[in-house]
Structure 1
Amino acid sequence: MHTAGIGSKVEHPHFGRGVIVDSGTEFYVIWFKSQNGTKNIGKDFAELRIIEQADATESPAAGISLADIEMALNNILEQRMHEFQLVPMANKWNDGMLVMQPKDDSLQAKEMPIETFFHKIVMVRDRLRLIEQKINAHKVLTDEEKVDIQQYITGVYGSLTSFNILFKETHHQFRGAK
């Protein structure tokens, strides 16, 4: 049975490296970067390797619980929920107009500035990213359910790659499954 304090760095054979963020009588709550979240791992799990031991009585995080960390993360996500990153549009589209012309000439065409359309596309992208964060941080969904839902989001990104021509910088573009 392991006896590591909060703040100890560990390595799990499946989840990789992590940090103990809380401790119960029979298990650790470990945050794994690969999972972007926490997992409960039994203290008697033989394959959990302690990389850097932290004593529970000396750890500066000893007074911080998992609930405190989750509340802080939720506050940050809530604050950032309505903040959208300024994403530059490719210069060739500046002052351009998007025109949607129906085949039937008796019907009116729809026009809108490309900047307006681009802004809406960026908002869709940012909201998809927020949904991804919420799924990854969800406390009830299993890893299998998270992966299943994530595949749908990846499919949506793939469907939106047609709009990548509007982005000035490639790192802002949509990416589907590779």
Structure 2
Amino acid sequence: MCMEKSPWEKAIEFHGHSCPGLAIGYRVAEIAMKRLQEFRSADEELVAVVENDACGVDAVMLLTGCTLGKGNLIYRDLGKQVYTFGSRNGNRALRIAVNNTGQPDPEGAQLRKKVFGGTASPAEQVKFQLMQGRRIEEILHMPEEDFCQVREIDFSLPAKAQIFPSVECAQCGERVMEPRARLRDGKAVCLDCFNDYSRGW
């Protein structure tokens, strides 16, 4: 008999491996869905703004249903473990800032460096995996107030995703969405073929 996988197991399968970063995104998504009283977004009922491109974003996508393809996942390259979720149904939004979830001690940091550098012994690799497992369990089960700061915010939900016509780039011949095309010598070109003109402002 085949047992249904848990949401955490599905997140691991989607991401490719289990790690503390994935656990952070999983916990953030759980908190957001519970606080907003939302279910997984089938269309654009829920919007997520993520301020990093780390492992946790995969868990956010899987649990919330917010994806780039649907237009309800917005990526801001700020390098912060901060996530904003807006509900169109409830007209509410939350900003979740993850606290310091515990950095490895000096020994753990050195071990991590060896594992990712390919110089760790089999015993050291096992030790590292055990260390990672403990951190994952801590992240998934620590009290919410220790894990993050949650506050309700005023948030202007972005317009729903639109479908635009495409035009052919006069330079490379590839098709580009009309709002992303630029004019060069009176012809439409894609951003890759467009030589931007800037004088520093």
TM-score (norm. length: structure 1)? 0.21
Tell me which structure has the larger Cα radius of gyration: 1
TM-score (norm. length: structure 2)? 0.20
